[in-house]
Each structure stands twice: as C-alpha cells, then as structure tokens.
Structure 1
Amino acid sequence: MRPHTPNPGSDSFDDDDYPAYTMGRAAEMTGTTAGFLRALGDQGLITPLRSEGGHRRFSRYQLRIAMRARDLVDQGTPVEAACRIVILEDQLEEALRINEQLRHDAGDPKPTADT
C-alpha cells in the first residue's frame, strides 16, 4: 500500500517499511502460505519489493496488513473481500484523521455523538 522510502541514518531493522523478509519467512511469520501472500499482492493489498534476483521481500508493515487479511479469511471471508475490507478500513481511518486535523486547524471543537 505504501511504498518504501529509505530513511537515511536509521537502522533498517527498526524501519517498519524495510523489506527484510523473504517469501518463506513472511509466510511463516504470518501463519499463511506463499500462495496466500501472492494472492494479497494480486489483489493490490500489498506490493512486496523485489530483490536484485527478483525475489519478493516483505516489510513488517506489509506483514501486519497480511495478518489483518488472514484474520478475515479465517473467519470465512473470501480473500478478495478481505483485501477490499482492509483497504476500505485504512481509507476510512485516514479520512477520519484528515477530518480531525482539518477541524483542529479550523478551531472547531471535536464533533459529538449528537452532531
């Protein structure tokens, strides 16, 4: 979802976006299969970076997203729908964050349940 932008001077292993994990390790860490991770990529949920040899590499951020999709699939949601749900949840969270920031910048009070 979000591209990796190197952070000069930071430790790569502290960087959530650093593509540190191979396909096999990513599948092991998420309790899924390589095929499942490829399906998430096919649906546009995650886009792993490629090593110089062309192998997929995943970041911790991408693995957290994969786990969210896996949890939905484990509950019986089809992979395609799980990917769409995760994408929409993230878009809603970002829209709410932007709305809150705009309200704050405009000096408006936080909306209540009555409004």
Structure 2
Amino acid sequence: MSTDPLQPLDDPDHPVLTMSQAAELLGVQAAFLRSLDSGGVLSPYRSPGGHRRYSRAQLRIAARVRVLLDDGHPLSSAQVIVQLQDDLADAVADADAARDERDAARRERDAAAE
C-alpha cells in the first residue's frame, strides 16, 4: 500500500504556502502577515531556513482579521473577536452534540419502557 504524496495538501492545517503566496491570495502586503505573527494572531510554521509557511486554516483566520481591521477594529480587538467567534462556534457544536446524545438516550429509554 503506497501513500499519496499529495495527501498533506488536503489537510487545512498543513503549512504549504510561502509568505508571498499567502499575501497574494489574501490581497495583502507581506507586512500584514508579519504583523499577525508578531501580534500573536497567527503562528506560522517556520522552515529550517526560518521562512514562514502558512496553512489554509491560517489564511482563513487572516482573512477574517482583515475584514475586522477594514471595519475599523484595532488588531487586538479583531483577535479577541475572532477567538470569541471560534469559541462560540465550538460551544454551539458541543451543545448540539449534547442535545443529540440526550435525544438518543431518551429514545433508547422510551424503547426499553415499551
């Protein structure tokens, strides 16, 4: 069984894009990405030569931050907003999963009672 050498490209967390590629895709200057790194918003992978490499997931975060910055938020606020949005999405997913488990347990209980 051989492994597909391109499989890592399907992983949204795999760092494959250089800074210039990431900046071009986002329509920003490289300085914007450096500011996200120095501000702690992103922590790009560093190649053995010290070059930043970005994943698709990191580019999604950068794009979300850029929208907030364009709307007038300072970087620190944009970072908090993105984190809170992600935390809320996680909490909603957890609540949905708990609700599904509760409903399944009730169905199982009701089926056993019959």
User: If the TM-score is normalised by the length of the shorter chain, which range does it land in?
Assistant: 0.7 to 0.9
Segments ≥4 residues shifted beyond 3 Å: none
Q: CA RMSD in A?
A: 1.8
Q: Give a deviation string over 1:47-99, Cα, whole Å, max 9, x none.
A: 11111111110001110110011011111111111111111100110011001
1:19 is displaced (CA, Å) by 0.5
**Superposed counterparts of 1:54-69, under 5 Å:** 54-69=50-65
Say whether residues 1:22 and 2:4 are aligned partners: no
Unaligned 5+ segments in structure 2 are 105-114
Residue from 71, 76, 82 that aligns with 2:78: 82
Gaps (5+ residues) in structure 1?
1-7, 109-115
Give TM-score, length-normalised by structure 1: 0.78
- Which is helix-richer, 1 or 2? 2
Q: How many residues align structurally? A: 101
Indicate yes or no: 2:9 matched with 1:13: yes
Bigger radius of gyration: 2
Between the aligned partners of 2:35 and 2:83, the Cα distance in structure 1 is 15
